[in-house]
Structure 1
Amino acid sequence: MKSRREAIKGIIAGSAAVSTSGMLSSFTPMKENSRSALKGNINHSVCRWCFPDIPLDKLCEEAKRMGLKGIDLVGPKDWPILKKYGLTSSMCNGAEINLVDGWNNKANHAVLIKNYSEMIERVAKAGYKNLICFSGNRRGMDDETGLVNCTEGLKQILPIAEKNKVILVMELLNSKVNHKDYMCDKSIWGVELCKRLGSENFKLLYDIYHMQIDEGDVIRTIKANSQYYGHYHTAGVPGRHEIDETQELYYPAIMKAIVATGFKGHVAQEFIPLNPDKLASLQKAILICDV
């Protein structure tokens, strides 16, 4: 007769096997030429900068084969390449000064207003919708002053964005590990800015990697503030690498929460691959997120 300890060990082993097999099924690589296997609930895209060693033409070709809809963070000079492959520029850039000098400092407003006024029209003319922006670093500035300054500056270009049907999207970045002193580092601050601006043409880029580091509580936060999020980025925590079983976030559940909010925008992979076969990692990430 089995002892109680042996019986419990058997139950635990069996449960672990079931749990592991269930988890690994979510991380099964996508088969070659399996675009039709995608469910269509997520508009997948990928950030260009994470694959610098792969020529853009090659990345677009592979992205198209995998069923992606767009490429993030591609400037105007490369838009013709995306169009050649039928891909959208899912998050346009090129109007910002940089990540640290942003809308929270009035000294930057003149340059930013000029840059964004011109770029909004270029984005619209190209048939795209999203244009990224940044709060900038604090440099000793308190939250309220930053909110007042961002509101004052952004209100000067929002009428242009509204007229051209372009959405300005401010990215939430962590200030703990990667972007020390960045102001828009938590949802509560970004959401308050959205409320003060009061425009459907200003949203937040909820970067899941960054927000796991700075605030956690990812799924509840997404559900509570979904109307203010216009775009999502992924990456594994810790390290910003593959989103597979080597890291702490369970992306299938996060993606299901995003879909449940009715989100129709793009979810872009923004991890830095450790796997020498970087495209295989991208393909695997797409399947993990395709709920």
Structure 2
Amino acid sequence: MTSESPAAAAARLTGRPAGGERRLSGTLAEAVLDGGRAVMVKQAEGAGAARAEAAGLRWLAGAGTVRVPAVRGGDDRWLVTDRVATGRPGPAAAARLGRDLAGLHAAGAPAFGAPPPGGPQDAWIGLAPMRNTPGQDWPRWYAEHRVLPYLRQAVDSGAMPRAGAAVVEGVCDRLPELAGPAEPPARLHGDLWNGNVLWGADGHAWLIDPAAHGGHRETDLAMLRLFGCPHMDLLVDAYREAAPLADGFAARVPLHQLFPLLVHTVLFGSGYAGQAVAAARAALAA
């Protein structure tokens, strides 16, 4: 980690004096730029993570649908964005987010696994490395680049028993038949759990900390459901009004949750391995 303070980094990257530093964690702080603008200053914990996040935020903003904090500056170590004033989640904001997500996904991507323009191929999802390798066939790409890499890591670390790994491998073998109708690559947030949704004081939902890439649009929705999201049913209903989902979407939710559950198994250990195996069994039973 660099010895530079968050306020000093914010000043250097924005070209404006900064003060009022308030540490929120070891890697995140608030600061106030000259003129009164409050910003968040985030220190990257992995090589290229700040650059990947900045590129992802700009790519999501470029769709003109979802709200994301504006990027005010960044380099390989630091990212400076606007601070979002938070409020409480409400049904209108959730429904609006559903419609906005439909628009984001429809903005598309060049391929499954395509990184945002200017973003590195070797990116991150949370604290886990995530390689963005483009592909045109979603079932094959999802198995090769989103499921199996994390499954291998989980087995190698001892977090995933080999019997459980065999169940997940069975899902990969059957992905072409489990995946549902073919979909074009969607522009994904990529790490869309409720903790990365800020319910703004302005009545809108704001998205932060993306692991943006081209993917299957059902993955963002399944990840939102994984750890709970306020007014989730209203959100999905509004999404479906704007962009109908293929028949069988609900049955495919565990299939799309397999990726984040395996990432959590790698990062946090065997407590998530059982959930990943349960999701694999549900996907096979769909």
TM-score higher than 0.5 here?
Answer: no
Taking structure 1 as the reference length, the TM-score comes to 0.24
Under a length normalisation based on structure 2, what TM-score does the superposition of the two structures give?
0.25
Larger radius of gyration: 1
